[in-house]
Chains A and B, each alone.
Chain A
């Protein structure tokens, strides 16, 4: 999962270490690296450019103020930022206070998302997997992830049993994991 770059581009871990010591140029470098994914996730959830910009600002300022919240041993910074962004955007969408401190969001993912090319490949692969899923399963996953609906709300919206919704969401996530482990 290393994001070290043979061309001399500093890896995420170096930039995060620099941020810990208050290096503002490192913050700019990380913004240039990950602002597109953060903004895209926020925009996908909120559907509003102004609100997405606010989330973008909020997420990077949290990283600036608390860089120790990110544990580089658990996976890529890009994936972590994507999850933090999604959670903050859902909180904003549902007009509620943040449910998780960023320190509480521990994720484990090996997929490297440091470069634009990495992200494009991953995005294309995920979209392909979603497209190959049964429509009901894809819909349940997207309602949970991008709309922040609870399983009860999804069941009410689709008219399907709670157990079916649970099974579909778990199976969908399992499909994604297996595809990226191959």
Chain B
């Protein structure tokens, strides 16, 4: 391997799926930042493939072939139109990004509104928190409706399914609303992370998020974005759930230029 001999035995076990517990967590953390060990892992998986090849046996029954071809025929796919027609029409009719964005905002506002009403009626002492929530709601609306807000679409390099994201960014007020759909389910030890990349190329962490069961997710006004910073690109990466999350270390999922 290219170095890090101390990880050699654990890498072999990891390639076979036999490494568990703390050893596995430590190795995965190391793999996030070591391309040499990732290459060795790929080679070890290749060694495992040789083991698999030794498993010769009878051919599958003829019915399996027909079963597969029937399934393929009932699941047609054409790369020239990767998205189903029904979905395409929905996007075309509503303007998908605006629709999804506004829908989420409405949900967010309704949720916050209900929360505020309950708070007013029962807890007069929480006026301060209501104000904060209303301010958040106002910032969401400002970010989506301000004439100088940037709207950036992020798309993945692979399809199907094709994850898509839309970022609404209000530079002078550090307002950022990001919505995404078609996201793949997360492995248990991973999390998605949104990045704002300014012209100097140094990514700024813009929030961790997990998709729901339908692959939808959103990030609303994440903290930590300096006011006035220009966005050249937005990107989403798949990161280790345990961090660190201060800089991209995982694999890219989608990106889009402002």
Contact = CB atoms under 8 A, between A and B. Distances in A.
Q: Do A and B bind each other?
A: yes
A57 B51 contact: no
Interface string B159-186: 1100000000000000000000000100
Given A82-B52, A127-B54, A144-B18, A61 B46 contact: no
Contacts of A82: 49, 52-53
A136 interface: no
A105 B75 CA distance: 24
A166 B13 contact: yes
Interface string B3-46: 00000111111011111110000000000000000010011111
A180 B50 CA distance: 9
Task: Assign chain B's interface to a size class.
Answer: 35 or more
A39 B75 contact: no
Given A24-B69, A39-B57, A108 B39 contact: yes
Contacts of B77: 22, 64-65
A61 B72 CA distance: 7
Contact of A145 (B9, B42, B51, B60): B51
B59 A145 contact: no
Contacts of A180: 50
- Interface core residue of B47, B57, B65, B75 (most chain A CB under 10 Å): B47
A153 B175 CA distance: 51
A86 B52 contact: yes
B156 to A, nearest CB: 10
Given A37-B53, A68-B159, A173 B64 contact: no
A31 B77 CA distance: 17
A37 B77 CA distance: 26
Contacts, number: 199
Task: Assign chain A's interface to a size class.
Answer: 35 or more
B95 interface: no
Nearest to A53: B64
A20 B76 CA distance: 11
Given A22-B76, A107-B49, A150 B65 contact: no
A80 B49 contact: yes
A85 B39 CA distance: 21
Interface in A76-94: 78-80, 82-83, 85-87, 90
B212 to A, nearest CB: 17
B80 interface: yes
A1 B106 CA distance: 55
Top-5 shortest CB links A-B:
A109-B46, A44-B55, A79-B49, A82-B52, A170-B12
20 contacts: A20-B79, A27-B69, A36-B60, A39-B64, A56-B64, A57-B64, A75-B49, A82-B53, A86-B52, A103-B184, A106-B42, A107-B42, A107-B45, A108-B39, A109-B43, A109-B47, A145-B51, A145-B52, A150-B19, A176-B51
